[in-house]
Amino acid sequence: MQRIGLIYGTDTGNTEEIAYLLQEKIDWAVVEIHNIASCAPEDIAQYQTLILGIPTWDFGGIQADWEDFWPILEDMSFANKTIALYGLGDQLGYGYYFLDALGLLHDAVRDRGATVIGYYSIEGYDFEESRALTTDGRHFVGLGLDEDRQHELTEKRVDQWIRQLQKELNRKKPQTRRA
């Protein structure tokens, strides 16, 4: 069974709760969870497939533990790694900065060679601006969740995203021919 490293940072516990929800619901891989607060580069390097979780703080800020790890992240290579991202934010209270940290993390890993999967439709969200949008503005660069305003949609969104990830990861597997 495939191994996936799930790395998250949290202050309120919401991003951690989503990490454990993902671990519980992904039945097609072994998901090993790590808090970025106690992560070393080798904890991340051991995985070919990663899920990274980050909340956005205040006016587009990066969560404190991710911020502490950022200089290390900038020195890492993510070549030959497949990464999916999820982010948490408040689309009403901070609608001009919704999921900005997700966008920053996406750019950081993509610029260091990662293949990023799991882009998620913006349909059903109500925000003003976000640095986590794809260039066409129709998707987030990962799963966006709002535990403050749309908690009731979280499980449905997680389920949809997990199915999407499984399909995207299966497409990446090399096909083998039988003799």
The answer as to whether 178 is a domain residue is: no
The answer as to whether 121 is a domain residue is: yes
Range of the domain at 102: 2-172
CATH code of the domain covering residue 136? 3.40.50.360
Sign of the C-alpha dihedral computed for residues 96, 91, 37 and 120 taken in this order: negative
Q: Which two tokens stand for residue 106?
A: 């996406």
The answer as to whether 179 is a domain residue is: no
pLDDT at 172: 60
pLDDT of residue 179 exceeding 50? no
Half-sphere exposure of 165 (CA within 13 A, CB side): 27
Q: Tens digit of pLDDT for each residue in 113-170?
A: 999 999 999 999 999 999 999 999 999 999 999 999 999 999 999 999 999 999 999 9
* Entry pTM: 0.94
The vertex-68 CA angle with 62 and 71, nearest 5°, equals 100
The total number of structural domains that make up the chain? 1
**Distances from the Cα of 112 to the Cαs of 74, 90, 109, 119, 156, in angstroms?**
8, 28, 5, 18, 31
The answer as to whether 177 is a domain residue is: no
**Cα distance between residue 101 and residue 67, in whole Å:** 10
